[in-house]
Structure 1
């Protein structure tokens, strides 16, 4: 769950690109979507896959580990409000829904598929793609224009082939790391600690979409994935 840093942070969803080298980065050409009201809950789904093959004539066998599957994420009761009760209304509920769908659902002509996304809320970070969306319109103007919508969204996690292989060995030091920044931390220092090579700092800055890697904000969370 998010770490309380004393500041209110809104959950945001940003479109991402997967590079040829297998790393994922935020797509700065698209505007991230920020929720009006943070969700009251979200659910992580962690799944291990086992081989179900049995020897001929054997009634039952010990399940054999096959793979660790990409993580799943679901959230419900994401409220988009156009009544003005929550705060100043700058755009209609329909426009808000369309802005969200442009990030997570609509077909991307460059990638020939829907966007990969980054879900970020406090110290929680998740990379993946949308699997299902439910939109429940609950209030309307006399004209029929919706004034409020409640959304439920399910995501399936992104995992590179390299990371998937590494996750088969849970003791591997090369698994992705989520690191909360502390006072005095620098990217070269963290890269040296995790990769034993401080020169990776530029790559980590790109992966985490850092515009100023020399000034890390204490309390923020950075992702350090396996690097070839």
Structure 2
């Protein structure tokens, strides 16, 4: 059944892999982290760049377009080891702050030798689906045990967006089934119908249900948001 609106939906960061120009989330232990405390705000920046010099004889048309810069996402995450924050049932989040930070670091920070670059990650929360690579990871420790072991920390995280070579070629066709789609459900929508509309094949409905964590996919609630991942 759809997740109730009052239930906490944690921000999740998942390691991804670029396989021949297709970015796909990885699965398995240690490939994803969910925050115990969601951010209070997100900063999502996009920039369009223009040539520095105006053309001679310009009458007000402005500087010519140059290029689009990668999007930027930044937010702060609080990590708590005091035990006062309720944990979701079945949570695998470590209890100690340093262990929580190490789990995060393994996903977003450690150099990936096989890829010869920092790891690609996917940030998923509500309607946000951001694919990028870490640029900043700054930790402030704010509470300690008498022994000096940290009980609370705040990590400031910033990411630059990442677009695979195949994704960039597909940008010209926003309706392509090889792109990620975020859909807000309206009355009368069904999962097979939405899959037919986006992928051209209703048979993908079970995979989409698993991706969105739907236990009962036959009745969709109007207003809920569903992520339709790119076809592999």
TM-score range, shorter chain: 0.7 to 0.9
Q: Partners in 1 of 2:53 and 2:170 — Cα distance?
A: 23
Residue number in structure 2 paired with 1:102: 106
Structure 1 gaps, min length 5: none
**Cα contact 2:139–2:155 (8 A) shared by 1:** yes
Residue 214 of structure 1, CA deviation: 9.8
Residue 34 of structure 1, CA deviation: 1.0
Q: 1:181 to 1:25 in 2, by over 3 A?
A: farther
Task: Map 1:174-213 to 2 at 5 A.
Answer: 174=176, 176-181=180-185, 184-186=189-191, 189-194=193-198, 197-198=200-201, 201=204, 205=207, 209=211
Q: Partners in 1 of 2:166 and 2:143 — Cα distance?
A: 47
Q: 1:192 to 1:50 in 2, by over 3 A?
A: farther
Structure 2 gaps, min length 5: 88-92
SS at match of 1:96: helix
Residue 212 of structure 1, CA deviation: 8.6
**Cα contact 2:15–2:107 (8 A) shared by 1:** yes
Q: Partners in 1 of 2:203 and 2:163 — Cα distance?
A: 20
TM-score (norm 2): 0.75
Residue number in structure 1 paired with 2:90: none
Residue number in structure 1 paired with 2:129: 125
Q: 1:52 to 1:194 in 2, by over 3 A?
A: farther
Q: Partners in 1 of 2:204 and 2:52 — Cα distance?
A: 43
Q: 1:217 to 1:82 in 2, by over 3 A?
A: farther
SS at match of 2:107: helix
**Cα contact 1:26–1:209 (8 A) shared by 2:** no
Q: Partners in 1 of 2:145 and 2:57 — Cα distance?
A: 66
Deviates more, 1:92-101 or 1:63-72: 63-72
**Cα contact 1:180–1:221 (8 A) shared by 2:** yes
**Cα contact 1:16–1:25 (8 A) shared by 2:** yes
TM-score (norm 1): 0.76
Residue number in structure 1 paired with 2:44: 44
State yes or no: 1:221 paired with 2:220: no
Residue 120 of structure 1, CA deviation: 1.1
RMSD in angstroms over aligned alpha carbons?
3.7
